[in-house]
Amino acid sequence: MRVLLIAPPGAGKGTQGALIAAHFALPRIATGDLLRDHVARRTELGRAVQQHLDSGDLVPDEIVVDMVLEAIVAAKAAGGGYVLDGIPRNMDQARATYLISRGLGMIPNVALHLQADDSEVTRRLLARAALERRSDDTEEVIRRRLVVYHEVTHPIVAWYAERGIVVSVDAMRPAEQVGREILDALETLRPVVDQVPGEARRPVDLTGLGVAFGAAPTDSGTSG
């Protein structure tokens, strides 16, 4: 099982990514963790990251993609599955990650899309900021982050939907309930994701799992 996550800030991507990784015993490739690890170990990539951070710049896509490539190679050696959290954040990253994954025979099976409206994620992030006494998560900052998500990241959902691997989840509910639904859906899809041809796959809404990848829920693993 190879899963990547797409979600607005505050939708619970980190929580659900960790849950999926633990449930299926998969390595979790979190770009934030990769960046911090490379910086701490003073690798060549880490030194490049530090230079950009010291300058106040964003880390360039090519550096992030190189880190992810290294992690995907390790995941392939470990058994071939992963949970990808934090990339892609834009179409350039999506295309680059897709090409890398295809070259390694490690294309994602599922693009898990956590849906949550702006008012709910704003409420969650402000509550977290108050609890953790974080001054950086103001309502204005959150609003800007959401604008970037809608303009830059969310279009990736349609791109993956064209490839038939999107699974959309209502993330407006308690994390435990969302997590149970995600695991149930992935367990349902796991026997067929590597068997159904790409052209036969369809995006999945969890209210309509009967047509998941063209297969009925009672199907034994063949495409419909």
The pLDDT assigned to 213 comes to: 38
Packing angle of the helix pair 139-148, 118-132 (nearest 10 deg): 140
The pLDDT assigned to 222 comes to: 35
Give the Å distances, CA to CA, from 78 to 16, 179, 198, 208: 22, 25, 25, 33
The pLDDT assigned to 191 comes to: 86
Are the C-beta atoms of 202 and 220 separated by less than 8 Å? Answer: no
Q: How far apart are CA 31 and CA 8, in angstroms?
A: 16
Residue 150 lies in a domain: yes
The pLDDT assigned to 14 comes to: 93
CATH code for the domain of 99: 3.40.50.300
Residue 130 lies in a domain: yes
Residue 206 lies in a domain: yes
Residue 53 lies in a domain: no
- Residue 51 CB coordination number (10 Å): 12
The pLDDT assigned to 210 comes to: 36
Q: Which domain holds residue 88?
A: 2-34+81-214
Residue by residue, pLDDT tens for the chain (224 residues) are 999 999 999 999 999 999 999 999 999 999 989 998 999 999 998 999 888 878 777 788 998 999 999 999 999 999 889 999 999 999 999 999 999 999 999 999 999 999 999 999 999 999 999 998 877 778 998 999 999 999 999 999 999 999 889 999 999 999 999 999 999 999 998 888 776 655 556 667 653 443 343 434 434 333 33
Residue 120 lies in a domain: yes
Q: What are phi and psi of 166, to 5 degrees?
A: -80, 130
Number of compact structural domains in the chain: 1
Residue 74 lies in a domain: no
Q: How far apart are CA 167 and CA 1, in angstroms?
A: 13
The pLDDT assigned to 134 comes to: 76
Positive or negative torsion for Cα 98, 103, 109, 112:
negative
Q: Please, what is the end-to-end C-alpha distance for the chain in angstroms?
A: 21
Residue 49 lies in a domain: no
Q: How far apart are CA 102 and CA 143, in angstroms?
A: 35
Residue 39 lies in a domain: no
The pLDDT assigned to 203 comes to: 65
- pLDDT tens per residue across span 126-152: 999 999 887 777 899 899 999 999 999
